[in-house]
Amino acid sequence: MSGTDRGILYPARLPRFTRVPAPPEVGELVRWFWVPQWDVAAGRTSRQHLVAFPACNLVVESGDGGFVGFAGPTTRRSHRDLTGTGWAVGAQLRPAAVPVFTDDPAALRDRYVRLELPDLLGAVLTAAAAGPADALPQRTATAFAGWLAAHVGEPSAEARAANAMAEVIDTDPEVVRPEDVALRLAVSTRTLQRLAHRYVGLPPAAMIRRRRLQEAAERVRTDPAADLARIAAELGYADHGHLTRDFRAVLGMVPSEYRRGGGAG
């Protein structure tokens, strides 16, 4: 998996999109910063489709004079319609950072709410205006990271365990069941469920399914000659039909339709 386009259903249709690595001082809080910049012709709309990572995101947006939003974990395909000219900078939060912003991430599934964080908003807006547009991603991510470092304390041992859970799920292709994760972390499945509920807002099984679906979508898109049954087998699906059902449930289409570019809107 490339890690660059994973989760983006139609990367060729994106406006300028930059992922900025999290600096060490916030490495336990943020996986990366993502910064789209767009300039859409008047009267037109650019629809961007995602099958998001199983994570929460804290976002500063340029629209409406600037605001801060918090995106909870998603359970389905999502989209965003871009118009005019603008930008956003988002932090894909590691689980350890989530309780700072909500004590119940599950209640924010498939929701995007505004937060009153004027210091963060001001720091990022100031950074955005401080130089040329081509350097905006790095400037805004640096300002965002500085705010997080100053306002979020050191993670607890439990929070670090939640980070470890998410890392195992996202990086170990042999993990196909919650019991696999529990075994690697030497914890009970009940402990795993509790960590996922408090720090992610999705159960471990849903996190695993999302990783596999992202990988499957990327393989289907980037390798037109690949046999769908082979993709299903290599990613741990029971069979081709299981992969197809997962695609339909989350993306609203079957793999062959996605491969043809269907449902893009």
Of the candidate CATH numbers 3.40.50.970, 2.60.120.10, 1.10.10.60, 3.30.450.20, the domain formed by 157-260 belongs to 1.10.10.60
CA 175 to mean position of chain CA atoms: 19
pLDDT band for position 76 (cuts 50, 70, 90): confident
Angle of helix 157-171 relative to helix 189-199, nearest 10 degrees?
A: 100
Residues of the chain with CATH 1.10.10.60: 157-260
pTM, to two decimals: 0.87
* C-alpha span between 89 and 6 (Å, rounded): 18
Question: Cα(57)–Cα(123) distance, rounded to whole angstroms?
Answer: 18
Query: pLDDT tens across 198-232, in order?
Result: 999 999 999 998 998 888 888 888 888 888 898 98
Query: Is 161's pLDDT higher than 70?
Result: yes
Task: Provide the β-strand partners of residue 21.
Answer: 32
Residue 186 DSSP label? T
Confidence check: pLDDT of 186 > 60: yes
For residue 17, list its beta bridge partners: 36
Task: Note the pLDDT of residue 10.
Answer: 58
- Single-letter amino acid code for the residue at 249: A
Q: What is the mean pLDDT of residues 91-117?
A: 97
